Amino acid sequence: MVDDLVLGFDRALRTLSGLAATSRPVPGANIADAPFAPDERRHAAGLMRVNHTGEICAQALYAAQALVARDPAVREDLARAAREEEEHLAWTQQRLAELSDRTSLLNPLWYAGSFAIGLAAGLASDRVNLGFVVETERQVEEHLTGHMEKLPAADARSRAIVEQMRDDEARHGAMAQSAGAVDLPFPVKGLMRLAADVMRAVAYRI
């Protein structure tokens, strides 16, 4: 447990200090950036800032859920998904830099809140833990599909990143489902969606 806490603290520091790494090439890296109007660039950056914040939350959720998972196989599945989410974090951070914009100023708050939520889900049971992953990834997949439609038509680089992220999230959800996830109660799903809506609205601007 002490080792897990140390590793978790190290992951939090790397996540919040912008040191996320990726072993896969950044999707769309070979696509030339088209010219943007200033309002299009701001809008694309706002959307990618929301996606980056979502990956901050994912790192915190997976770290907390893995910390309290009972089954070593579940813990390993969560850790594997977290490694891919770290790649998403690196991709969105790089894209924000290319768009000459910044990450959310509230990332420490998003991380802390998501870590607490992940602990609560994990402490309930491993099956509830996995059910939380399934519902989270389902909502994220839906959200990313919406962002692909909202991005400026010329922003093929951002769209390539979002598309790969969406595919990965769908796979994470399928993994949790096959591992024995339970279906969460409707009120819990509604609260999850409400919290995500608040995060998206705030992160787009701040």
Q: What is the pLDDT of residues 71-100, one digit of tens each?
A: 888 888 888 777 888 888 889 999 999 998
CB atoms within 10 A of CB 187: 8
The yes-or-no verdict on residue 1 having pLDDT over 80 is: no
Q: What is the pLDDT of residues 51-70, one digit of tens each?
A: 999 888 888 888 888 888 88
CATH of domain 36-203: 1.20.1260.10
Q: Region 102-122: what's the mean pLDDT? A: 87
- Residue boundaries of the structural domains of the chain: 36-203
The yes-or-no verdict on residue 8 having pLDDT over 80 is: no
The yes-or-no verdict on residue 13 having pLDDT over 70 is: no
Which of 5-14, 28-37, 87-96 is predicted least confidently? 5-14
For 38, 47, 131, 153, the CA distances from 35, given in Å and listed in that order, are: 9, 18, 43, 11
Q: What is the pLDDT of residues 130-186, one digit of tens each?
A: 888 889 889 988 889 988 889 998 899 999 999 999 998 888 888 888 888 888 888
pLDDT at 14 (0 to 100):
60
Q: Indicate the pLDDT class of residue 7, thresholds 50, 70 and 90.
A: low
pLDDT at 81 (0 to 100):
79
Angle at 123 (CA atoms; ends 121, 125), nearest 5 degrees: 85
pLDDT at 19 (0 to 100):
64
CB atoms within 10 A of CB 55: 24
Structure tokens at 181: 């996830």
pLDDT at 162 (0 to 100):
92
Q: What is the pTM of this model?
A: 0.86
